[in-house]
Chains A and B, each alone.
Chain A
């Protein structure tokens, strides 16, 4: 078990520790140095991820507790990249915060937890990853202690987490009782041979709820809109993206263990997907607050992502559709929240009037991000939806594709409620910016939706044969 197999995770952990030490010794005005250290750690983690993906064959490593495979590599890459964007968004936003420097340590720990979720091939590993993501998430959401909204967002997030984390543990305990092992490799064999279907179904449901919490899936989604609206801007960008990626991959990996004849996990997840996308869209329809609207939209997007899991094992499109979804969703959501942050967190819908004239680049980035979330070609969101629809049709779940289409049409309505005033109406006044760096990354992310859409073949080719262990 070469230690190099977790080099990306080590880079993140060391980076976080380094940030913590550093910010103890530098003054209030130099706390942004934490961001620089974090970026170096993320660059190292990204480099290690690429090296591992290219050089080390897929395998279960560390005595079968850690899955080193194509999907882990993609998820880690996306998590690292998204975190790097959020780090750049942060310094100006938190400049006057007394604990500015520690922010970057918490971000790195949270990213570490998300990669652990993605790579976990052992139920205990899964629990540790989930706890790490949750605890750091609460901190990020309520970082503005003085703000009532931020505190409320953190409290809601924490309460739901406090409810669902024990459910996950309970599910894991059930699974241990059934299989007498915690590793996925051992569990897959044990569960097919002799498992009480009732207990197994209960355990599956508990794990689904526990992991669904960070995914923002129904019925444990209510924290998402509050966090999107109330937490610090960069935290909203981070928390609606990074934990979801880890949770979605964790769920995909877990369901493969289940004997399909005993546990109807496919219809179960299809049902959750259907409810999640529909509820998210319906709730987003009449929102007047752009951040809250984006929060609900990210709930519905999680529903689309679950479609990939429904198709797992039935079509070779399933894994590419999962990876494409992760890439597309991360880019578009980081871009959308990035624009909000770059505009100093302005969030009332009417404040976006005429943005195309007052801030054309920001408006273009936001429009591209929203169109990508709808799935307009040639943006990357289109390729993701194409692959997802194709996967579920091929897997015999055409009804889910039809429902996703209905939902997409529904979503056009609220995305256009943001887009139309930006382009068709006159500016309402001067639009202040947070600074050059947040604007630059937000616009970059917006245009990445085009670049990644045109280069979708690279993602599909790179993930078509990608393994999802065990």
Chain B
């Protein structure tokens, strides 16, 4: 029931707000935060009931849906799903609470955000492969309407590009999903059965093509180079809280899908191509970092660092999938690191995008060249931005460091070459964030610096919560790692 509550409450809230008569903006925003907080509370409660020594999937509920096709409403969590879903729920609360310009259409905006929260959580919590696809697809529709209505100047084109790219990915994913489900006898979309049966193990070409379809669909959403080109446009045009959700939650769907479907249900086949996946991941890491370094548009710069960070996650997944006899421990560490990287990236990049929103709200520019010396005018904003930037570049003491150190330890043990190449990405990321901090907060004041005022109480609260959690995860990550490890151990077959 807890998980169903987490999915249904925001969806029902969205429907009610969409149909309700006009509510004043302040009230509707408060209402939105309150409704979005319900799933967070439900997931925290689920966390307390989760048994790290128990079965892989817990808190399972199953209700028939299309029995003839072997599809049902099935929800349940393992440690990975629980951790990613909880982070997503938190980020939705923060995004809704963070002030932004809604152009007098607050009610519709809150309704769409709640809809998006419901489908995103549904995606992470479902144990039915068809429902998994349904939620995947619906998240694209929600994001399309959010970017298209509340985005910046070139929003319609960005929204169209986003939907065309990601829907292409999702439809190819559907073919892979169908191929997997049809391989079951009788046809079934039950993830637990699919994981237990491994229906395409040893199926040669069909297994390879199925994996290709799945990985293509998921790679578009992650995104990996070279199918990332929708991402910068979408991030630049989306309003800041929506950018935070796009980076923090929607990108995770790609990598979470790789763990949930490709690694769990096609492990044998993925093993054959693990090195290829690792190489693509490293290419994304390095490419993302280099391109980010060249951007003067703040949001575009941060958007490209997302490609780098998601590359770390995929590298971790590739290491976890690789054929390395006797290296179960290294593979487990890499998978746990990959999951933790998703959470760290959600919190950190979410904060960074919310900060760019605060900046734009005051001075209406995303260009690095318009700022400088802001530290003197806005000390709280400076502290938050510096903390988020250092967390993002992987400074010890923040969550990102814990995640990346695990991914790299796994990689060094199994594919040292990839680890060395990926280090290049870490170096450049450090450089590009230091450069960004310098351009915004220190040095001579820029043209728009005088318009920047310090963070208000609401902004301080949302960013404070996200960044404090980043530090907590960086200092004492054990409580999360234990939960994730419970799933990683099973998935890499380390008992």
Q: Which residues of A contact B (CB under 8 A)?
A: 320, 371, 376-378, 382-383, 386-387, 389-390, 393-394, 398, 401-402, 405, 408-409, 412-413, 416, 420, 423-424, 456-457, 460-461, 464
Contact = CB atoms under 8 A, between A and B. Distances in A.
Given A457-B65, A460-B66, A377 B168 contact: no
A378 to B, nearest CB: 6
Contacts of A402: 175
Given A408-B171, A413-B164, A457-B67, 8 more contacts: A382-B134, A386-B130, A389-B175, A390-B182, A393-B175, A401-B175, A405-B171, A423-B145
B69 interface: yes
Chain B contact-residue range equals 20 to 34
Interface string B160-195: 100110011001101100110110000100000000
B134 A412 contact: no
Nearest to B133: A377
B156 A420 contact: yes
Given A409-B167, A424-B156, A386 B178 contact: yes
Interface in B134-165: 134, 137-138, 141, 145, 148-149, 155-156, 159-160, 163-164
Interface of B: 64-69, 130, 133-134, 137-138, 141, 145, 148-149, 155-156, 159-160, 163-164, 167-168, 171-172, 174-175, 178-179, 181-182, 187, 209
A424 B137 contact: no
Given A386-B174, A393-B178, A393-B179, A409 B164 contact: yes
B148 A423 contact: yes
B69 to A, nearest CB: 7
B63 to A, nearest CB: 12
A316 to B, nearest CB: 9
B1 to A, nearest CB: 21
Nearest to B65: A457
Contacts of B159: 420
Contacts of B133: 377
B160 A416 contact: yes
B217 to A, nearest CB: 10
B149 A423 contact: yes
B437 to A, nearest CB: 36
18 contacts: A377-B134, A386-B130, A389-B174, A393-B182, A405-B168, A405-B171, A408-B171, A409-B164, A409-B168, A409-B171, A412-B164, A416-B160, A420-B156, A420-B159, A423-B149, A456-B66, A457-B64, A464-B68
A456 B209 CA distance: 29
Nearest to A385: B174
B141 A376 contact: yes
A398 B212 CA distance: 14
A378 B133 CA distance: 11
- Looking at chain B's contact residues, is the secondary structure mostly helix, strand, loop, or mixed? helix
A420 B158 CA distance: 12
Nearest to A465: B68
A423 B112 CA distance: 13
Contacts of A387: 69
B472 to A, nearest CB: 38
Contacts of A461: 67-68
Contacts of A376: 137-138, 141
Contact of B141 (A371, A394, A409, A460): A371
A401 B179 CA distance: 11
Most chain B CB neighbours (cut-off 10 Å) among A320, A377, A461: A377
A408 B167 CA distance: 9
A424 B148 contact: yes
Contacts of B64: 457
Contact of B148 (A393, A412, A413, A420): A420
B64 to A, nearest CB: 8
Given A390-B178, A405-B174, A409-B168, A416 B163 contact: yes
Contact of A457 (B66, B174, B181): B66
Given A398-B175, A457-B66, A377 B137 contact: yes
A239 to B, nearest CB: 30
**Considering the complex of A and B, which 8 residue pairs feature the smallest CB-CB distances, nearest first?**
A377-B134, A405-B171, A409-B168, A457-B66, A460-B68, A424-B148, A390-B178, A464-B68
Contacts of B182: 390, 393-394
A462 to B, nearest CB: 10
A77 B156 CA distance: 41
A456 B65 CA distance: 9
Contacts of A390: 69, 178, 181-182, 187
A395 to B, nearest CB: 10
A58 B113 CA distance: 50
B149 A424 contact: yes
B233 to A, nearest CB: 15
Contacts of B168: 405, 409
A423 B171 CA distance: 24
Contacts of A383: 66
Nearest to B172: A405
Contacts of B148: 420, 423-424
B428 to A, nearest CB: 34
B134 A389 contact: no
Nearest to B135: A377
A390 to B, nearest CB: 5
A335 B344 CA distance: 46
A190 to B, nearest CB: 36
Contacts of A320: 68
A423 B147 CA distance: 12
B41 to A, nearest CB: 27
A387 B193 CA distance: 21
A389 B179 CA distance: 10
B226 to A, nearest CB: 17
A422 to B, nearest CB: 11
Given A377-B138, A416-B160, A420-B160, A457 B178 contact: no
Contacts of A413: 160, 164
B467 to A, nearest CB: 34
Contacts of A423: 145, 148-149
A42 B257 CA distance: 49
Given A409-B168, A409-B171, A423-B145, A378 B134 contact: yes
B27 to A, nearest CB: 22
Contacts of B68: 320, 457, 460-461, 464
A324 to B, nearest CB: 11
Contacts of B66: 383, 456-457, 460
Nearest to B144: A416
Contacts of A412: 163-164, 167
A386 B182 CA distance: 12
Contacts of B65: 457
Nearest to A383: B66
A173 to B, nearest CB: 41
Contacts of B138: 376-377
A457 B66 CA distance: 5
A386 B177 CA distance: 10
A413 to B, nearest CB: 6
B154 to A, nearest CB: 12
Contacts of B69: 386-387, 390, 460
Contacts of A394: 182
Contacts of B141: 371, 376
Contacts of A405: 168, 171-172, 174-175
Contacts of B172: 405
